[in-house]
Structure 1
Amino acid sequence: MNGSGDQLLVLRGVVTTASQQMQYVRVDRRTGYGRINTTPELWLRDEHGKEHRCQGDMFETARPGHEVAVISRPGSGKPLAFANFSTGLVHDGNELTVSTSTGSTLISTLGFSVLLALPGALLWGTLLNTIGLGDHAFSGVGFQIYAVVLIASVYAGLRFCSKGYRERSSSLREEIDRLLASEIAPATRT
């Protein structure tokens, strides 16, 4: 295991076992329909001969004998990225793959607006009552203004958060790429 300060850990080794670990089985007695939830599990042997167990959704392409690296934060146990040097691919974890496109932001805006509608309405009514327009807070025009202000505020907040997320994930990807470059030639990111 190599570390880069307190930021990231790189666990590099050779895959000894790659399998699916069963989390739970659920069977409906009436229909007989069953569901099995599994998570890919990986066992690595590092250069000192010590074996390490890793779990995550990005290990499907690993096979015994592949040389790989798992990048994570100290103490978290959740992989941020997985580099398979045998195949030349880097897989990003869930933390680095959140969609911040305009379409996903609009869908999230509508969802959050619905969740915030009632608390926002109470705040809207109180605010307009404070400035003497409480009687007009939920008139036709007042409600339309409230809806536009609510949706615009949620959208602006999500765009601001999305920008921050993109900047953080970009710098994290750069740090991961630097760590991988020090381990071996860079691989292709998927």
Structure 2
Amino acid sequence: MVGKKNVVFGFLYLVLTAALGPYMVNMYEGYGAVVGEKQQSVGRLQQLKTNNFEEDLEALSAEQIAKANTDGILSLNKLLNTEAEIDAIKGGPHAHGNLEALLNVAAGLTLCFIAVAPMFKQLISWLFIGGAVLHSGMLYLRAFGFEWANTLILAGPWLVLLGLLLIGIAAAMGFRGELVRD
């Protein structure tokens, strides 16, 4: 059964991508410090507003208020930038890896019900596996700092699209309602 390797690969790749997602998010150890910094500077602004911009029973000058505002804005910006990096991980390699893993499972199961030339089925099977590795796999490597992976990322989606096209053609040619022995 040609599709068996896609099903096995898909489930194992899903475990890998699902496990790497939270690990990659935890790579941002400074996130807690950034949140604390934001809380401190924005909390100070809230306290100043509550006290009519007085601190220690003395009115603040315009310059002191401006500096407090600047600290608050910069800490919010730093937090947003840190969250954007974390969201890029969740939306990039993590989501694509999970999707491509499940796509391999679906393609593998579908190949088990298609009666076409075994070499054609092998080509389709390897296109899906190669597409997943060269797309989401390279996205993971890039997120871990391997910039050379950028050179291979674009090949992955094209392989997946070609696999989808060919599996559609194969299904039109020889889809059966029962398992096919290869």
TM-score (norm 1): 0.29
Higher RCO structure, 1 or 2 (CA under 8 Å, sep 6+): 2
Name whichever structure is richer in helix by fraction. Answer: 2
TM-score by length of 2: 0.30
Larger strand share, 1 or 2? 1
